[in-house]
Amino acid sequence: MKILVANLGSTSFKYKLYELADLLGHATSTGERMLAKGGVERIGSDSSKAFVEANGLREEMVIEAPDHAAAVNLCLAQLADPKRGCLENSSELAAIGFKAVMARGISGVRKVTDQLLRAMEDCNEIAPAHNPPYVAAMRLLSQKLPEIPLVAAFETGFHQTIPDSRKIYAIPLAWSESYCVKRWGFHGASHRYIGQRTAEILNRPDLKVISCHLGGSSSLCAISGGQSIANSLGMSPQSGIPHNNRVGDFDPFALPVIMRGTGKTLEQVLADLATRSGLFGISGHNDLRDIETAAANGESRAILALEIFIEAVRHYLGSYLVALGGADAIVFTGGIGENSVLMREAICANLAFFGISVDPKANIAAKGEASFHAPESKVQLWTMPTNEELMVARQTRDLLLAN
Ligand code: ADP
């Protein structure tokens, strides 16, 4: 079965085309292939730019793509071009899958319908960077390409197994249901992949894994036997560990104090918390590489930002070791998790009591899928590139096969 997984921005469309075995619930890499990847940038401008990579060849071209539907059509034509041979024709495509963030009252994997798009729109305020461009493009595609099934795999879906004791905020209970105010959890596709891939590598389905997705946005997830039982992201993707420019966990009673102090409106303060806070708010730098360099040069704000980040990750790590009753593996993914030797070392420091010990040389050498625990460590430590698109492809396939 061939499935295109789409990643949408307001003026961009990127995709990966997968061929998957027609097996419901198949969760290992056997029988799976990525046939091509590509996309279009600057959709709507006079000179949109497209690229396509297939059979080891990359091509770039300037095209006319007035909207997302035109961009998708063009990409399908490129994939069906006999010189690439990725698709017999566009009708060979079983579906387009989307990594959608959240919808009011809906989660898991769903066919895209008007009702679903309206439910996503209801969450625009909670996920302002993600939901609006997805809804706009998905609506257009469902109108202009009605022959291709569209499937949304929600980020919140993997976290549906989190028990209410970790999902419900201590607010008047009716608010939880009436206004969907709960810890929904996000980064579901990434944590799902880390859970499945770790089980595949260690050849054990019953693993206790703590997945540390540390990047521009960061979260930890406790995974037991492939199921999420806790995630550090709450009702919105602005919560949990401080992100590159988003606040992370925060006391709502600080809001009126900040509004009075700055003279800003609630909307302005919320925008500051979502775009000018996190590691950037503390250090003045947006990128962890710059923060590490500034810290090495003695910038106190950068040193503090790193300390706060490490402390927040360790806070959730400790919580999840307790929630799981220990762990078999702690896995680091995302731009920071995969690349920052310093952060991995600091996050895992002095945890021998919990059976966690780093091999410093292996940590420095770790690239791609690699372990870096010391021989005496009871808990395995890994770096692992995530593959969110593959999860969306597998989920899309499962939805089609189940119906
Ligand atoms: P996103 O969450 O936006 O998908 P990524 O997972 O790509 O982002 O992670 C981006 C972050 O990874 C940036 O803050 C960047 O500083 C950090 N990063 C990338 N490479 C390194 C590195 N070599 N050392 C430290 N941090 C890195």
CA of 129 to the centre of ligand 1 (A): 18
Binding site membership of 9 for ligand 1 (Cβ less than 6 Å): no
CA of 128 to the centre of ligand 1 (A): 21
Binding site membership of 222 for ligand 1 (Cβ less than 6 Å): no
Return the number of other C-beta atoms located less than 10 Å from residue 226's C-beta. 17
Identify the CATH class of 203-383. Answer: alpha beta
Residue 187 to residue 218: CA distance in whole angstroms: 8
Q: Which residue has the tokens 């920052």?
A: 340
Q: How far is CA 371 from CA 129, 318, 358, in A?
A: 34, 21, 10
pLDDT reported for residue 9: 79
Strand order in the sheet with 33-41: 57-63, 48-54, 33-41, 13-19, 2-8, 93-100, 150-154, 109-111
Q: For 326, how many CA atoms within 13 A lie in the half-sphere containing its CB?
A: 11
Binding site membership of 287 for ligand 1 (Cβ less than 6 Å): yes
pLDDT band of residue 339 (cuts 50, 70, 90) is very high
Residue 15 to residue 97: CA distance in whole angstroms: 10
Residue 90 confidence (pLDDT) above 80: no
Residue 333 to residue 219: CA distance in whole angstroms: 10
Binding site membership of 385 for ligand 1 (Cβ less than 6 Å): no
pLDDT reported for residue 19: 96
Overall average pLDDT of the 98-103 stretch: 92
Q: Which amino acid is at 317?
A: L
Residue 118 confidence (pLDDT) above 90: yes
Overall average pLDDT of the 36-57 stretch: 92
Residue to mutate (ligand 1; options 288, 345, 364, 384; most atoms within 8 A of CB): 288
Binding site membership of 244 for ligand 1 (Cβ less than 6 Å): yes
Domain edges within the chain: 2-154, 203-383
Binding site membership of 190 for ligand 1 (Cβ less than 6 Å): no
Binding site membership of 367 for ligand 1 (Cβ less than 6 Å): no
Q: Could you tell me the end-to-end alpha-carbon distance of the chain, in angstroms, rounded to an integer? A: 15
CA of 99 to the centre of ligand 1 (A): 20
Binding site membership of 216 for ligand 1 (Cβ less than 6 Å): yes
pLDDT reported for residue 326: 97
Residue 10 confidence (pLDDT) above 80: no
pLDDT reported for residue 179: 86
Global pTM value: 0.91
In this prediction, what percent of the chain has a pLDDT beyond 90?
A: 83
Residue to mutate (ligand 1; options 287, 338, 386; most atoms within 8 A of CB): 287
Binding site membership of 237 for ligand 1 (Cβ less than 6 Å): no
Ligand 1, atom 1, residue with closest C-alpha? 216
Task: Report pLDDT digits (tens) over 147-184.
Answer: 999 999 999 999 999 999 999 999 999 999 888 899 99
Ligand 1, atom 2, residue with closest C-alpha? 216
CATH match for 2-154 among 3.40.50.1110, 3.40.50.300, 3.30.70.1280, 3.30.420.40: 3.30.420.40
CA of 157 to the centre of ligand 1 (A): 25
Ligand 1, atom 23, residue with closest C-alpha? 339
Task: Report pLDDT digits (tens) over 375-403.
Answer: 999 999 999 999 999 999 999 999 999 98
pLDDT band of residue 197 (cuts 50, 70, 90) is very high
Binding site membership of 386 for ligand 1 (Cβ less than 6 Å): no
CA of 9 to the centre of ligand 1 (A): 19
Residue 125 confidence (pLDDT) above 90: no
CA of 358 to the centre of ligand 1 (A): 21
What ligand 1 atom has the least distance to the C-alpha of 334?
6
Q: Which long-range contacts (CB under 8 A, 24 or more apart) does 52-55 make?
A: 52/78, 52/79, 52/84, 54/79, 54/84, 54/85, 54/86, 55/84, 55/85
CA of 335 to the centre of ligand 1 (A): 3
> Nearest to residue 9, comparing CAs of 144, 150, 138, 120?
138
pLDDT reported for residue 116: 97
